[in-house]
């Protein structure tokens, strides 16, 4: 495992191009495009203002930078064509958590609309922005929607005040309505499995419910109790130790090991013996957006694993085995988990906790890696390269790349596994 | 019960007689103050009666007493003691025969009464003990009743409390439910309120938006709208198509195509899955058939149930289904056939497995039956007991060894004597008994011998006399015969004397074995005494002794035989006490000896204590 040098960054704006060749990052008003393999700057653009949003085009030929400060008041959606002069307007878009979604193949776009206190969904054909379907949804206050990866089913869910999941076909037919309970805070997070076979719904009651794609009924529900008692579940617990004098701690020799802070604590995983009780947070019930319920959900690329985080057990990541429909592994970190992301090529999960370490889990085991560099490098976010060979680690003002040669990564994991 | 009846009857009759006696007594002659006393002090005191009789009749009042007795007896229904008077004036004559008959009858009656009384007494005793028993039972039961009553009261109290609690909980539950209902209503009303408010706010918001839109639009025209500076040419150089009805139709088509593709894809997947499952089913079926075929002949031979037909069906099905074409058909009938045949086979398999299970369990049972079914618990108990016993035996052996060593090393006079005492006390006792027996026997034998010798002497004397007689007779004859000379006669005399002595010797030798044998046996070794005593002619004393010992043994045996069954639960405890005894006897060598001796004693004692 190797680390690149540290580059400057602002607003956590750092993205790989979809084809995996380039890396775009923003530093204040500058946009830097680098080559992924050499990290040499290919282009440097200067914008008029601080960049607040940046995005690659699907063909990796264009980059969009948004400077909201320079924006205009627009109460509609405007679609500009980049090749022709045509402009399309879409009225009444709903401003919500996830009110607009494209299918994976980019053919269709679903848009949430609000007219006369009622929610509607419009499906557009992206090639010519023709309205394909328009229908009202039986929601109080639509909060989000997402296409299934195969682009044939649209999941629409209500605001957190009501547990309601609606599933629509591409042609606007209502396929199913699912509601787990009433009178309590409802859906917090939703994720489709890459195979479109399962829809995982995380809710404020601390459970994930898996809906199947045939009957759209619940297949199973995963609770997230603070106590793990099943002996089949492996609980990895991060433990911190001050490194022993000498070079014994240089198990992952970084490129610039000499600059490594001497006072850094070495952390490693220990297998806790079941039953284990996890640290829980007592949520403030009288505040909006309480820290409870399943707020993060992610399927591995092969749909075999589901990683979740229950927000009132912020230090833990649960990994569920979807084949056996049971809890597989729990990783308990020393600090609250900020973000996690699956390797797009293999079942490998990267986790960051706003510390100067990055954590990797695979079915073979797990390990923690100290990010080398002067001073602290709190990893706030991370994103995988599409090849799964490298990983961008983002802190508040810097980013660096972490290279995982497949063989090396596996060897490191194996070593870690044997050590724990 | 029958026994009871027969026993009570005489008692009752006796009592009634007693009563009648008593009643007759009351209106009776003045003379019998005594008789009252006698009656009061119960009849069977014969001595008393005797004395009474001696006082009753004196020389002076014979007549009086006879008449009185006569009167008495007639009142009891006996015939009169007097002879039937021939005339009115004639003095009544005492009929001795009648008196004697009466006496006899009275005696018979008396005996009967005594018997009856005895019966009654035993009855009374029995009843008394029964009564005691019943009373104790009654007391116990009463106690039980009391305790159960108390328990009932306690339970009732608890029940009441629980009911109270339950009621409270019900009330609480109801309250909670009401609360929940109320809260739900509140939530619902709040929700409607909220929605209403939201709608209102949204409308306001929409109005504001509209206004803003108008303001923005009117102020800055289109100038402010964003423009694309440099358009990008398409890679293929095409221009964007116009939106027409045609494109709309095309979009629809495409959408449906996508949906269709998706459904087709899913259908394909499902088909594949189905094929896989069918394959699995087929394989299972084949395996089932192969599994069931070897034993299917048996049921057919037995011709029981309908398994035979089912199996034949199965075979047909198998034949049908083995055709490849069947797999491509997924019509209802095929499916039905398949599922039906699988179900049938499954049923057969299930029944077969059940049968096997039954057999296995039967075999197990039989196995158990062969060994008289010892439950595991019993077995464990038994082994535990045996282990304990082994432990005890080992302990015993150890102590014995210790003792032996002591004996070998330090031959202390006291200890040895004690030891001997310990060991030989019983033996000695027995020997003494036997000794006395033997002595007695010896005496008997001696007496017999003496009588024998006396008889022999007498015989000898008689013979002598006879011999003399013969001699005299011969002499006379000889003297009568004139031809005999003096010498000859002498010879004859000598001869006769000789023959006579030899005869006597023979006699004594012949009688000796009878006389001498018993004493020689009585002096025999004490080891084989028991044998000898058995072979000996049973003298009355010996017999009774043996009898009694036998009885005592028998009784003890019977008691011991009963106890193990009755005292089973205590058995472990008893052994525990034995164990403690043996443990306690361990310390000290000299004490160990005592302990070892006392152990047997105490253990037997303990056993006795345990007896009911």
Q: Is the pLDDT of residue A94 over 50?
A: yes
Mean pLDDT value across residues B424-439: 85
pLDDT at B346: 82
Q: Which of residues 170-199 of A touch B (CB under 8 A)?
A: 170-171, 183
- The predicted pLDDT at position B555 comes to 41
Higher pLDDT, B572 or A104: A104
Contact A128 B251 (CB under 8 A): yes
List pLDDT tens digits, range A107-130: 899 999 988 888 999 999 888 888
- Nearest by CB to residue B231, choosing from A85, A108, A151, is A85
Whether residue A85 lies within 8 A of chain B, CB to CB, comes out as yes
Strand A305-310 and strand A316-321: the pairing is: antiparallel
Cβ-proximal residues to B52 (8 Å cutoff; 6+ apart), any chain: B34, B35, B38
Residue B224: list chain A partners with CB under 8 A. Answer: 72
Given A75, A171, A183, which is nearest B259 (Cβ)?
A171
Position with higher pLDDT, B307 vs A336: A336
Per-residue confidence band for A355, with pLDDT thresholds at 50, 70 and 90: confident
pLDDT of residue B36: 44
Kindly provide the residue ranges of all beta strands, DSSP E only, lying in A204-248, ordered along the sequence. Answer: 207-212, 218-223, 227-228, 234-241
* Highest averaged pLDDT of the listed ranges A90-94, B18-22, B61-65, B519-523: A90-94
Q: What is the pLDDT of residue B372?
A: 52
CB-based contact B454:B448 (threshold 8 Å):
no
Pairing of strands A22-27, A207-212: unpaired
Chain A residues lying within 8 Å of B256, measured CB to CB? 171
Between chains, do B234 and A78 touch, taking CB under 8 Å as contact? no
Q: Write out pLDDT tens, residues B144-176.
A: 999 999 999 999 999 999 999 999 999 999 999
- Read off the pLDDT band of A26 (50, 70, 90): very high
How many alpha carbons fall within 13 Å on the CB side of residue B397? 6
Which residues are CB-neighbours of B254 under 8 A, at least 6 positions away? A107, A125
Give per-residue pLDDT as tens, B113-126. 999 999 989 988 98
| DSSP-derived secondary structure letter, A93 | B
Taking CB atoms and an 8 Å cutoff, what residues of chain B touch A82? 228, 231-232
Q: Does B5 touch chain A (CB under 8 A)?
A: no
What's the gap in Å between the CA of B277 and the closest CA on chain A?
18
Nearest CA-CA distance, residue A111 and chain B, Å: 17
Q: What share of chain A in percent tops pLDDT 90?
A: 37
- Residue bearing the bigger pLDDT, B53 or B198: B198
B54 part of contact set with chain A, CB < 8 Å: no
Answer whether A288 touches B (CB < 8 Å): no
Chain A contacts of B193, Cβ < 8 Å?
Answer: none
Contact B216 A72 (CB under 8 A): yes
What is the average pLDDT across A328-341? 91
Contact A84 B255 (CB under 8 A): no
**Arithmetic mean of pLDDT, A247-271:** 55
pLDDT score of B476: 81
Q: Is B229 in CB contact (< 8 Å) with chain A? A: no
Q: Residue A214 is encoded by which pair of tokens? A: 């045939």
Give the per-residue pLDDT at B522: 41
User: Which residue is closest to B261 within chain A, CA to CA?
Assistant: A152
Residue of A nearest to B207 (CA): A116
Helix ranges restricted to H, B371-412: 376-409
Q: Does B247 touch chain A (CB under 8 A)?
A: yes
**Chain B CB contacts of A81 below 8 Å:** 228, 240
Query: Chain A window 126-155: which residues touch B at a Cβ cutoff of 8 Å?
Result: 127-128, 130, 132, 140-141, 150-152
Question: Cβ of A407 under 8 Å from any chain B Cβ?
Answer: no
Contacts with B191 from chain A: Cβ below 8 Å: 161
Find, in chain A, the residue whose alpha carbon is nearest to that of B201.
Answer: A117
Average pLDDT (B498-522) is 44
Q: What distance in Å separates residue B175's CA from the closest CA in chain A?
A: 19
Q: Indicate the SS3 state at residue A21.
A: coil
Predicted confidence at residue B483, as pLDDT, reads: 53
Suggest the residue from A82, A91, A214 to mutate for an interface test with chain B (most B CBs closer than 10 A).
Answer: A82
Read off the pTM.
Answer: 0.56
Taking phi first (over 0 means left), then psi (-120 to 50 degrees means alpha), and beta for anything else, what does residue A385 get?
beta
Contact A152 B254 (CB under 8 A): no
Structure tokens at A231: 């002996």
Instruction: Tell me the shortest Cα–Cα distance from A103 to chain B, in angstroms.
Output: 12
Any B CB within 8 A of A285 CB: no
Residue A117 touches partner B, C-beta closer than 8 Å: yes
More confident: B339 or B18: B339
pLDDT exceeds cutoff 80 at B480: no
Q: What is the pLDDT of residue B282?
A: 82
- Residue of A57, A81, A83 for testing the chain B interface, max B β-carbons within 10 Å: A83
Question: Average pLDDT over chain B, rounded to whole?
Answer: 68
Reported confidence tier of residue B526, pLDDT bands at 50, 70, 90: very low
Higher-confidence residue of B373 and B391: namely B391
* Option in B184, B198, B232 nearest A82 (CB): B232
pLDDT digits (tens, 9 = 90+) for B364-385: 766 555 555 556 778 888 889 9
Most confident of A1-5, B96-100, B540-544: A1-5
pLDDT higher at A196 or B296 = A196
Does the pLDDT of residue B503 top 50, yes or no?
A: no
Q: Residues A199, A155: contact at Cβ < 8 Å? A: yes
B243 versus A192: which is more confidently predicted? A192
Distance CA B527, CA B431 (A): 10
The alpha carbon dihedral of B79, B83, B85, B89 has a sign of negative
Percent of chain B with pLDDT over 90: 14
Tens-place pLDDT, residues B184-200: 899 889 888 988 898 89
């Amino acid at each position: 495992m190797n680390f690149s040098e540290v580059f400057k960054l602002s607003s956590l704006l750092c993205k790989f191009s979809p084809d995996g060749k380039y890396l775009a990052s923003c530093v204040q008003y500058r946009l830097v495009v680098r080559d992924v393999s050499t990290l040499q700057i290919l282009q440097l653009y200067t914008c008029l203002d601080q960049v607040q949003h940046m995005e690659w085009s699907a063909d990796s030929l264009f980059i969009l930078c948004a400077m909201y400060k320079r924006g205009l008041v627009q109460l509609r959606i405007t679609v500009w064509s980049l090749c022709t002069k045509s402009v399309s307007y879409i009225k009444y878009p709903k401003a919500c958590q996830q009110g607009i979604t494209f299918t994976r193949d980019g053919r269709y776009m679903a848009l949430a609309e609000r007219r006369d206190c009622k929610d509607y969904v419009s499906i557009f054909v992206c090639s010519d922005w023709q309205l394909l379907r328009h229908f009202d949804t039986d929601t109080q206050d639509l909060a989000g929607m997402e296409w299934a990866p195969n682009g044939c089913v649209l999941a629409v869910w209500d605001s957190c005040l009501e547990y309601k999941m609606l599933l629509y076909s591409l042609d606007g037919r209502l396929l199913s309505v699912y509601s787990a309970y009433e009178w309590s805070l409802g859906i917090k997070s939703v994720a489709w499995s890459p195979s479109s076979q399962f829809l995982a719904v995380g809710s404020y009651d601390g459970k994930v419910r898996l809906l199947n794609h045939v009957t759209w009924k619940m297949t199973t529900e995963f609770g997230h109790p603070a106590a793990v008692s099943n002996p089949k579940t492996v609980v990895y617990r991060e433990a911190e130790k001050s490194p022993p004098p000498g070079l014994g701690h240089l198990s992952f020799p970084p490129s610039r090991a000499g600059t490594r802070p001497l006072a850094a604590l070495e952390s490693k995983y220990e297998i806790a013996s079941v039953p284990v009780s996890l640290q829980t947070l007592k949520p403030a019930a009288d505040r909006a957006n309480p820290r409870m319920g399943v707020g993060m959900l992610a399927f591995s690329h092969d749909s075999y694993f589901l990683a979740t985080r229950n927000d009132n057990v912020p230090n833990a990541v649960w990994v569920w085995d979807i084949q056996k429909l049971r809890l597989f592994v729990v990783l308990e970190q020393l600090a609250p988990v900020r973000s996690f992301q699956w390797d797009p090529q293999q079942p490998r999960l990267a986790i960051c906790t706003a510390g100067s370490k990055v954590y990797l889990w695979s079915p073979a085991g797990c390990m923690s890696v100290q990010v080398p560099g002067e001073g602290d490098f709190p990893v706030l976010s991370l994103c995988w390269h599409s090849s799964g060979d490298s990983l961008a680690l983002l802190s508040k003002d810097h980013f660096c790349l972490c290279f995982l040669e497949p063989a090396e990564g596996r060897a490191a994991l194996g070593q870690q596994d044997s050590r724990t | 019960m029958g026994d009871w009846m027969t026993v009570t009857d005489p008692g009752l009759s006796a009592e009634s007689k007693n009563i009648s006696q008593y009643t007759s007594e009351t209106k009776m002659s003045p003379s019998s103050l005594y008789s009252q006393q006698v009656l009061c002090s119960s009849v069977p005191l014969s001595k008393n009666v005797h004395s009474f009789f001696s006082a009753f009749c004196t020389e002076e009042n014979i007549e009086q007493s006879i008449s009185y007795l006569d009167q008495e007896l007639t009142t009891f229904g006996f015939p009169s003691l007097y002879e039937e008077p021939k005339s009115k004036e004639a003095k009544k004559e005492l009929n001795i025969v009648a008196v004697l008959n009466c006496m006899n009858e009275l005696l018979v009656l008396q005996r009967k009464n005594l018997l009856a009384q005895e019966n009654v007494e035993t009855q009374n005793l029995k009843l008394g003990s029964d009564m005691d028993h019943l009373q104790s039972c009654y007391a116990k039961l009463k106690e039980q009743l009391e305790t159960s009553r108390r328990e009932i009261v306690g339970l009732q109290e608890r029940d009441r409390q629980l009911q109270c609690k339950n009621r409270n909980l019900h009330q609480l539950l109801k309250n909670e439910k009401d609360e929940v209902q109320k809260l739900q209503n509140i939530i619902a009303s709040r929700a409607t309120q909220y929605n209403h408010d939201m709608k209102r706010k949204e409308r306001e918001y929409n109005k504001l938006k509209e206004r803003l839109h108008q303001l923005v639009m009117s102020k800055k025209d289109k100038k402010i709208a964003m423009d694309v500076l440099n358009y990008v040419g398409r890679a293929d150089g095409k221009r964007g198509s116009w939106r027409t009805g045609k494109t709309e139709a095309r979009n629809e088509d495409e959408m449906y195509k996508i949906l269709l593709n998706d459904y087709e894809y899913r259908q394909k997947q499902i088909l594949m899955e189905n094929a896989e499952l069918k394959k699995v089913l087929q394989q299972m079926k084949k395996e089932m058939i192969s599994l069931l075929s070897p034993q299917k002949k048996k049921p057919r031979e037995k011709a029981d149930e309908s398994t035979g037909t089912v199996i034949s069906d199965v075979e047909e099905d198998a034949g049908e289904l083995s055709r490849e074409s069947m797999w491509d058909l997924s019509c209802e009938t095929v499916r039905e056939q398949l599922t039906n045949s699988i179900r049938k086979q499954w049923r057969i398999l299930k029944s077969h497995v059940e049968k096997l299970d039954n057999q296995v369990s039967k075999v197990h049972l039989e196995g158990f039956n062969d060994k008289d079914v010892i439950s595991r618990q019993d077995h464990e108990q038994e082994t535990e007991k045996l282990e304990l016993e082994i432990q005890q035996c080992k302990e015993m052996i150890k102590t014995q060894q210790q003792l032996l060593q002591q004996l070998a090393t330090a031959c202390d006079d006291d200890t040895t004597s004690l030891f001997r005492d310990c060991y030989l006390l019983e033996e000695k006792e027995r020997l003494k008994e036997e000794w006395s027996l033997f002595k007695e026997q010896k005496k008997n034998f001696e007496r017999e011998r003496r009588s024998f010798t006396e008889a022999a002497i007498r015989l000898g004397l008689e013979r002598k006399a006879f011999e003399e007689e013969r001699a005299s007779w011969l002499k006379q004859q000889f003297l009568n015969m004139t031809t005999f000379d003096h010498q000859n006669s002498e010879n004859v005399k000598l001869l006769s004397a000789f023959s006579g002595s030899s005869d006597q010797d023979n006699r004594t030798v012949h009688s000796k074995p009878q006389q001498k044998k018993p004493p020689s046996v009585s002096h025999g070794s004490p080891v084989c005494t028991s044998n000898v005593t058995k072979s000996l002619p049973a003298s009355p004393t010996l017999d009774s002794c043996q009898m009694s010992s036998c009885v005592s043994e028998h009784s003890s045996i019977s008691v011991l035989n009963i106890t193990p069954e009755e005292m089973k639960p205590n058995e472990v405890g008893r052994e525990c006490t034995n164990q403690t005894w043996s443990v306690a006897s361990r310390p000290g060598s000299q004490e160990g000896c005592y302990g070892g001796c006392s152990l047997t004693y105490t253990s037997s004692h303990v056993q006795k204590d345990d007896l009911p």
